[in-house]
Amino acid sequence: MSAAVDTPPGQSRYGALAGALRSRIVGGDWPPGHALPAEQQLAAEHGVALGTMRRALELLAEQGLVERVHGRGTFVKQGLAGAPMLRFFRFGGSEGEAPRSRILARDVLAPPADVAQALAAPGPALRLKRLRSLGGQPVLYEESWLPLPLFQPLADGDTAGWGDLLYPLFAARCGVHVHRAVDTIGFVPLPAAAARALKLASGHPGARVQRRAHDLAGRCVECRTSLGDAHAFQYTVSIT
């Protein structure tokens, strides 16, 4: 297809190559989990030295768009498997146990303004309310907003077979792969509904995690608010 790369204006050659590959990836030329052509072949196709193409691929790997496996190949990254939401909390005793999830409600309605803006989708959206438990104890109360043409498959049908994780469900039913997420941590008194579900007093100190999840192309595909007992909250961050 592409012969030699055009003149890179303010960019390095490998930077331009990475951009070109990026476009083909988000465009769906190589779907998540699939292998890219070999370095040799890509280098030849683009009329560039092997080392230069390697630099480009390493750049994409740093950006988390691609995964390189020695001896096997270069693969488009799968979406985030599980939602590692409980990494923010430390609940006594139930270490290593698989968290369970139960759908409390599913509605289609107009989202609040900030959510609507983030989703960049006008009109109604799908709202899910979930209760997540560890060792039988409810620990997290979650509310998710999902843009609607995209998540229509989740608006109908039974929720029984959904399992405990949302992201694999998104991938299987809607072809949505969550690639990046931004969590904002805050502190709020628990609202009544959340407190009731968590078996705590209304107004009990709550830790709130607001998540914006994005797909490969950078579009916001989920707005989530998670609430848990503030006293169980613990998170470690390393700075340099």
9 is an interface residue for DNA by CB under 7 A: no
CB of 15 to a second copy, least distance (A): 15
Q: Residue 205, Cβ neighbours under 10 Å: how many?
A: 14
22 is an interface residue for DNA by CB under 7 A: no
Residues that bind a second copy (CB under 8 A): 64, 80, 84, 179-188, 205, 207, 230-231, 233-240
CB of 170 to a second copy, least distance (A): 16
Binding segment for DNA (CB under 7 A), chosen from 10-18, 133-141, 182-190, 219-227, is 10-18
Residue pair 137/91 in contact (Cβ under 8 Å)? The answer is yes
71 is an interface residue for DNA by CB under 7 A: yes
Residue pair 28/37 in contact (Cβ under 8 Å)? The answer is no
74 is an interface residue for DNA by CB under 7 A: yes
Residue pair 141/174 in contact (Cβ under 8 Å)? The answer is no
Q: Which two tokens stand for residue 52?
A: 């230069």
44 is an interface residue for DNA by CB under 7 A: no
Question: How far is 154 from 161, CA to CA, in rounded Å?
Answer: 11
The size of the chain, in residues, is: 240
The interface partner of residue 70, options being a second copy, DNA, none and the CB cut-off 5 to 8 Å by kind, is DNA
The interface partner of residue 155, options being a second copy, DNA, none and the CB cut-off 5 to 8 Å by kind, is none
Residue pair 115/223 in contact (Cβ under 8 Å)? The answer is yes
CB of 233 to a second copy, least distance (A): 5
60 is an interface residue for DNA by CB under 7 A: no
Residue pair 139/198 in contact (Cβ under 8 Å)? The answer is yes
CB of 63 to a second copy, least distance (A): 9
239 is an interface residue for DNA by CB under 7 A: no
Q: Which among 121, 124, 143 has a CA at the least distance from the CA of 132? A: 143
Question: How far is 17 from 31, CA to CA, in rounded Å?
Answer: 19
Nearer to DNA, 32 or 205 (CB): 32
The interface partner of residue 19, options being DNA, a second copy, none and the CB cut-off 5 to 8 Å by kind, is none
Question: How far is 157 from 91, CA to CA, in rounded Å?
Answer: 34
* Per-residue DSSP letter, 219: -
Residue pair 228/213 in contact (Cβ under 8 Å)? The answer is no
CB of 31 to DNA, least distance (A): 16
CB of 64 to DNA, least distance (A): 15
Residues 146-205 that bind DNA (CB under 7 A): none
Q: Residue 82, Cβ neighbours under 10 Å: how many?
A: 13
Residue ranges in contact with DNA by CB under 7 A: 8, 12-15, 36-41, 48-52, 54-55, 68-74
